[in-house]
Every structure is written in structure tokens, then in C-alpha cells.
Chain A
């Protein structure tokens, strides 16, 4: 494999000036060659942080006990620039993203795979930090990395580090979610402030720097989701509001469930600095990615109880009932604005571009 030859020089990396790191400080192609270098990378850097009885065997796959008859299986790939950002990094993102995909399906996570694609030149110190972050996020989610893979690609072929994580989970018999269970009158909730992750990444991305302390909300939500059935709440629908934001999830719900959704702007939890940054760049907070927020649909009579239970959890302190499902036709998502007007909320159609003024 070779990097593509073009007449354009590669853009300079957005890294602080410092002394050139030596061969021992960075990822080199030999780290992926299957020899001693790779063995040491795995044993000294990965197993020391993520090791557990299943992973430590370094077999070709993991054998896991299966406590239920149905399982949830998901995969997700992570590409983010920069690799580390306020409130998280690509490692935390990978663990949380995969755990959340399992959890919103009603899954109790059993194990994760970790595929690391390292770009030549990546600083090992940065890799170490990201591995520690993976360990912490996995501990928090109560899940282990049980199998993995490492490859090295030539410099210029990636963005430093690419991560793929797959996850398996046992289906929680108490959770039965689906578009078909949504009916008019149901309450729509979110577990906290919107847009934090997208604006945190945007705020540090090269060329869009502004003074801010916006932190990503990347967090595993399986714990929060689990306490709801514990409290007798019947979850009718769950979806994490990642790319496409709240608008993307609600547009899917309206389309697939065939019911309208009415949300109230004044009830939407949004941090003031996120709102200001979004306003400045011309983004709609409803379209911005979250990594620790999900949409919860429950029957109206259980909404208050669900809210109370969520607010007692670390990742639900700022939870809110933001709207309800209605029988208005055609099925649309409508926003009652703070000013007292109404407008339609549409699925975002691609990457929002920062606007001119």
C-alpha cells in the first residue's frame, strides 16, 4: 500500500512545535509487522492497560458466556480530528459510542472488540493516553475489551489513529423498544444538554478556534438506561443522538413511527456557551452531534417518574421532557419556538458548514 502521490504537498500537521521525536517515541511500520515490535506494543502498551483473563490469552477470538437467548451485536468506526479534544478523545468516543449503540437496543454489554489502525508517526505517548482513556471508559461502562487487532498504515494514509469497535450484549428481557411501540400522547425526553460534543470538537478544529470551555459529553449510557426498568419504567423507544443530532433522531421517529412530534424550544437543555458558539458559526443546536445523549420515549403517565429517575443518575442530571408524540398529519417534527412561533424540524442533510457572518 502506498500513499497517494499528488502534486499537492500534505497539509502541515496541527501539532505544537517540539523537538523531533525519536524512533522509540512514535509508531513505525515495524509495529504492525507481526514480529517482536508488534508483540511488545501489544504486551507493554495494550495488555498493561486493557488486560483481562479473556484478552490476555491473545487467542484469535474471545469465548464469552451467553446469559440470554437473544443478543445484540453492533459495530462502529471512529475517525475524529483532533484525536484528543476537551472532554474526551477517540478512545473514549469508541467505547461510549459502541456501548450506547448496544444500550439503546436494550443490550447489557458483554464485551467489546478493539481494532486499532495506527498511522506511522503517531506518538506512542498519545497512544498511551488514549489507551488509558479506553480503560477508564470501559470500566465506567462495566465492559471489557475481549478481543482486538492492530495494524499500522503509512504516514499520510490516515488521521493518526483510526478505531473500530464492535460490541456484543445480552438483550435485557425488561426492555422492548421499537418504532412500532410509539403512540400519540407519549412523552419525549432527553437526558441532558444538547450539542456539547459537536461544538467541543469544532471549537478545537484547526481554523475554527475560539475562546471556549465547551467539553464533549462522551459518556456510556448503559447505566442510566438500566435504572429506568429497575424503577418500573417501560421504555418504548431509545436512540442515541449522535451524528445528525436530536433533529436526525426525531425525523427518523416521525418517518418510521408515522406520528408527529412536537418539541418545545424552551424545554430544550442547551448550555449557554454551546448556544453562543453554534449561533456564531451558524449551526442549529438540534443538528449537532452528541456522544452521551439519547432520546427516550415513554408513555405520558410515566414521564414524570422517568424524569425523576433519570435526574438522580450522573448522566441524567439535566434530563428534560422536551415534547410529545401527536397524531397531527402528515407526520412531521415541529418546534414550538421560544418566541411563540412554530417551525418544522428537518433531518440535517450533511455536514453543516460554518457560515460566513
Chain B
């Protein structure tokens, strides 16, 4: 065991005894969820420290209507649909992009918006539509690509805008009042953009500790130690245990770029419904890049699979294994809901890393 991990784990166990009850922390971000599993950290946690995976997997929170719209756009014959890879298998009402591709649509996995813009430049006779999903981590890249497309006069590029904001989702979760959460482990990479101070409303309005942490084992454990220490003291403060990377105010240039291209708008979330001021829509100067308007595709309604409980999973209300179809009708091979598709999805992470662990104490650790 690495020295720091040993010290931090010992401190967690000491604090958990002092707390003397179950402490429930939400890791907001899917990358935290996966990192926790991959490094085997859950096996090191005291049994009364419970981690709940929140609405921070960008694929999982994308509303079905946006997936359906992406599929409809992929069926336009001139369109090359460019998307982050893990969107490809997510089922909508019209099937999935994977099925659409198998039937002849030109769907390409890209790892950046700028690659999508390059596709547009390289294929002047085609229309490139980029599926712009994700939080403040990916939104500035979309903004940068759109700004460049405007400057360069690229006419065959557009986006399906479905970016979401982290903090409004956390506030919406708390506003419902039945969360039983003792605090939030806040994602390092989103915080690089928005700054640690962005979580201030969560702390002040709802009196829950927020700790910004990185993704290395030591960083995540340090975040949990800080959360548990606040729980033991009965305080709710904003802490940043990732100060070498995350500043209080965030990345000013990225935020200005976001503000130049987008404006805050109400946004539909998968199974959470429309959350006020939780998304980004294009400003008038950039409306020409709106793929929905360009191709006359309407956003429909969400009509999720009746057995799928992804919505409750991403709000931390139920554990994946409480869902009747988890691991049976819903598996990574044939996912019913988005939490099973994305490698960062809570259900996928539990299926991959946690499913068989239930039977063996050594693997155990905290389960919800």
C-alpha cells in the first residue's frame, strides 16, 4: 500500500469511529465513481462510510429526447454525425446511434469538438453535426469550436446543444429534501473551469460540506477525510484539497468563452425532468450552428423504459442492485438505460467492478 494511502485510510477509520453513524457522501462525478472502483478504494473504506454516485456522468444525464434527436439527425443523408464514443450505444426511442450506423448512417466517434470541426473542413460537401453533451468540462471545447467555425466561416458544421451545468443539478437534488446526504465530493476537472467557489450556494443554502478533490487515490481519499472530518465536527464548509489545479474562481478564459457562445437555459435531464437554469443554449449570434433548426428536427418528449430506474440511481435514491432489471434485462451488452452504457455510468461501474464483489468480504467495502 502506498504510504499516503495508508495514512489517509487510517485517518478515515479513526474519523468514522468518531462519527459513530452512517455517513453518506455523493461523488458527483462519474470519473470519481470509476476511479474509486478502479483503484479498489471502496475495499479500504470503513463500513459506515457510504459513497453514492450522483448525476455526473454526462451520458447518463442526457435526456432521451436529445438522443432521439441525434438519431434523427444521423438519418439525414448528408450528415456525418460526430459524437463522443460512449453516446453511441445509448438507447433512445428510435433505437441507438449504433443501430443507426449499422443501417447506413455515418456516425463517427471523435474525442474532441475540434476533431469534429476538422471533419467539417475535410468534407465540404457533407454536413457535420456534433453531439455537444457534457458538463463544464466539455462545454468550453464546444464553445471554442463554434467560435472558430464562426471566424473561419465554416458553414457545414453545427451542434446538437445539450450541455449541462453541475451545480444547478446538485441544488435541485437538495431542494427535493429527501436526499439524506452528508456532503459532496466535487469533481476536480469541472472545478478547474467553474472554480471551487461555484459550490458556495450548496454549502450556504443547504449546509452540506463540499470538498473539491482530484482523481488520484490519495486525492479522493483526502477528499473523503475532509468530508468525514466536517461530519464529525458538525460543520459545513467549502474545502479544496486539489488547490494545485483548482482555483477559487476557475478558468476565466474558459468561462468568458462559454459566456460568449452560450447563455444559461432550462434544460431537460434524463429522468430528472427539466431543471431550471441547468443547461446552456446558443446565443443569437451562434444560432446558425443549431443543428435542430438547420435540419428541422424537433425535440420530442422523453419516454423512458418503464423498468429502468436510472433517474433514481443518479439521484442516489437507490442502489443499482435495487433495480429489478440490473444485471438481468439490463446489461452493458443490451442496456435499457444510459447508466449501463457509459463506462462512467453508475450501473456500468457496479456491473463491471462491483457486481460479483458482494459475495466476498475481502472485496466488500461500503455498499449503499
- Of A9, A206, A282, A356, which one neighbours B133 at CB under 8 angstroms? A356
Beyond A207-B108, A208-B110, A339-B1, whether A357 also contacts B138 by CB under 8 A is yes
Pairwise interchain contact A330-B359, C-beta atoms closer than 8 A: yes
Complex: A284 Cα to B353 Cα, angstroms:
12
Interface positions, chain A 307-357, Cβ under 8 Å from B, are 328, 330, 332, 334-344, 346, 349-350, 352-357
Pairwise interchain contact B108-A356, C-beta atoms closer than 8 A: no
Pairwise interchain contact B89-A353, C-beta atoms closer than 8 A: yes
Complex: A298 Cα to B78 Cα, angstroms:
57
- Of B43, B77, B342, B362, which one neighbours A355 at CB under 8 angstroms? B342
A65 at the interface (CB under 8 A from B): no
Using Cβ atoms and an 8 Å threshold, which residues of chain A touch B40? Answer: 335-337, 339-343
Pairwise interchain contact B111-A341, C-beta atoms closer than 8 A: no
B137 at the interface (CB under 8 A from A): yes
Distance between A329 CB and nearest chain B CB, rounded to angstroms: 8
Distance between A353 CB and nearest chain B CB, rounded to angstroms: 4
Using Cβ atoms and an 8 Å threshold, which residues of chain A touch B87? Answer: 356
Which of B31-39, B245-253, B295-303, B306-314 is found at the contact surface with chain A?
Answer: B31-39
Pairwise interchain contact B59-A356, C-beta atoms closer than 8 A: yes
Distance between B131 CB and nearest chain A CB, rounded to angstroms: 10
Interface residues on chain B, number (Cβ under 8 Å): 65
Interface residues on chain A, number (Cβ under 8 Å): 39
Pairwise interchain contact A7-B353, C-beta atoms closer than 8 A: no
Using Cβ atoms and an 8 Å threshold, which residues of chain A touch B126? Answer: 9
Pairwise interchain contact A330-B86, C-beta atoms closer than 8 A: no
Pairwise interchain contact B39-A344, C-beta atoms closer than 8 A: no
A44 at the interface (CB under 8 A from B): no
Pairwise interchain contact A207-B115, C-beta atoms closer than 8 A: yes
Distance between A160 CB and nearest chain B CB, rounded to angstroms: 18
Interface positions, chain B 96-125, Cβ under 8 Å from A, are 103-106, 108-111, 115, 119, 122-123
Pairwise interchain contact B39-A338, C-beta atoms closer than 8 A: yes
- Of B34, B104, B111, which one neighbours A208 at CB under 8 angstroms? B111
Pairwise interchain contact A207-B111, C-beta atoms closer than 8 A: yes
Beyond A207-B110, A353-B88, whether A342 also contacts B59 by CB under 8 A is no
B243 at the interface (CB under 8 A from A): no
Interface positions, chain B 300-350, Cβ under 8 Å from A, are 331-333, 342-344
B5, B39, B80, B333 — most chain A CB neighbours (10 Å): B39
Name B131's closest neighbour in chain A (CB-CB): A356
B273 at the interface (CB under 8 A from A): no
Name A262's closest neighbour in chain B (CB-CB): B362
Pairwise interchain contact B106-A343, C-beta atoms closer than 8 A: no
- Of B6, B39, B133, B344, which one neighbours A337 at CB under 8 angstroms? B39
Distance between A267 CB and nearest chain B CB, rounded to angstroms: 15
Distance between B56 CB and nearest chain A CB, rounded to angstroms: 10
Pairwise interchain contact B80-A11, C-beta atoms closer than 8 A: yes
Pairwise interchain contact A353-B85, C-beta atoms closer than 8 A: yes
Name B135's closest neighbour in chain A (CB-CB): A357
- Of A7, A336, A349, which one neighbours B333 at CB under 8 angstroms? A349
B185 at the interface (CB under 8 A from A): no
Using Cβ atoms and an 8 Å threshold, which residues of chain A touch B237? Answer: none
User: Residues 78-120 of chain A: 1 if any B CB is under 8 Å from the residue's CB, otherwise 0?
Assistant: 0000000000000000000000000000000000000000000
Distance between B231 CB and nearest chain A CB, rounded to angstroms: 22
Beyond A8-B106, A354-B111, A355-B84, whether A342 also contacts B362 by CB under 8 A is yes
Using Cβ atoms and an 8 Å threshold, which residues of chain B touch A208? Answer: 109-111
Complex: A296 Cα to B30 Cα, angstroms:
35
Name A9's closest neighbour in chain B (CB-CB): B77
Pairwise interchain contact B359-A12, C-beta atoms closer than 8 A: no
Beyond A207-B110, A343-B357, A343-B363, whether A354 also contacts B41 by CB under 8 A is no
- Of B85, B134, B356, which one neighbours A344 at CB under 8 angstroms? B356
A335, A338, A341, A356 — most chain B CB neighbours (10 Å): A356
Complex: A6 Cα to B77 Cα, angstroms:
9
Interface positions, chain B 1-27, Cβ under 8 Å from A, are 1-2, 5-6, 9
- Of B34, B105, B119, B189, which one neighbours A207 at CB under 8 angstroms? B119
Pairwise interchain contact B362-A356, C-beta atoms closer than 8 A: no
Using Cβ atoms and an 8 Å threshold, which residues of chain B touch A338? Answer: 2, 39, 217
A209 at the interface (CB under 8 A from B): yes
A42 at the interface (CB under 8 A from B): no
- Of A6, A284, A349, A355, which one neighbours B38 at CB under 8 angstroms? A284
Pairwise interchain contact A12-B39, C-beta atoms closer than 8 A: no
Interface positions, chain A 2-55, Cβ under 8 Å from B, are 4, 6-9, 11-12
Pairwise interchain contact A207-B360, C-beta atoms closer than 8 A: no
- Of A9, A11, A209, A343, which one neighbours B115 at CB under 8 angstroms? A209
User: Residues 277-304 of chain A: 1 if any B CB is under 8 Å from the residue's CB, otherwise 0?
Assistant: 0001110100000000000000000000
Beyond A7-B77, A339-B5, whether A357 also contacts B31 by CB under 8 A is yes
Using Cβ atoms and an 8 Å threshold, which residues of chain B touch A12? Answer: 122-123
Pairwise interchain contact B77-A354, C-beta atoms closer than 8 A: no
B50 at the interface (CB under 8 A from A): no
User: Residues 174-206 of chain B: 1 if any A CB is under 8 Å from the residue's CB, otherwise 0?
Assistant: 000000000000000100000000000000000
Complex: A352 Cα to B85 Cα, angstroms:
9
Using Cβ atoms and an 8 Å threshold, which residues of chain A touch B44? Answer: 339-341
Complex: A339 Cα to B222 Cα, angstroms:
13
Using Cβ atoms and an 8 Å threshold, which residues of chain A touch B333? Answer: 349-350
Complex: A352 Cα to B134 Cα, angstroms:
19
Complex: A349 Cα to B335 Cα, angstroms:
12
Complex: A50 Cα to B106 Cα, angstroms:
38
Name B115's closest neighbour in chain A (CB-CB): A207
Name B4's closest neighbour in chain A (CB-CB): A339
Using Cβ atoms and an 8 Å threshold, which residues of chain A touch B218? Answer: 339
Beyond A208-B110, A330-B360, whether A353 also contacts B343 by CB under 8 A is yes
Complex: A281 Cα to B110 Cα, angstroms:
10
A sample of 19 more A-B contacts (CB under 8 A), given A280-B111, A353-B109, is: A9-B77, A12-B122, A207-B82, A207-B119, A208-B111, A209-B115, A330-B359, A332-B356, A337-B38, A338-B217, A339-B5, A339-B44, A341-B217, A344-B354, A349-B332, A355-B85, A355-B342, A356-B58, A356-B59
Q: Which 4 A-B pairs have the closest CB atoms?
A: A341-B40, A340-B1, A339-B217, A354-B85
13 A-B residue pairs with Cβ-Cβ distance under 8 Å, sorted by A, are A12-B122, A206-B108, A207-B108, A208-B110, A340-B44, A346-B353, A350-B332, A354-B111, A355-B84, A355-B86, A355-B342, A356-B133, A357-B137
Interface residues of A (CB under 8 A from B): 4, 6-9, 11-12, 206-210, 280-282, 284, 328, 330, 332, 334-344, 346, 349-350, 352-357
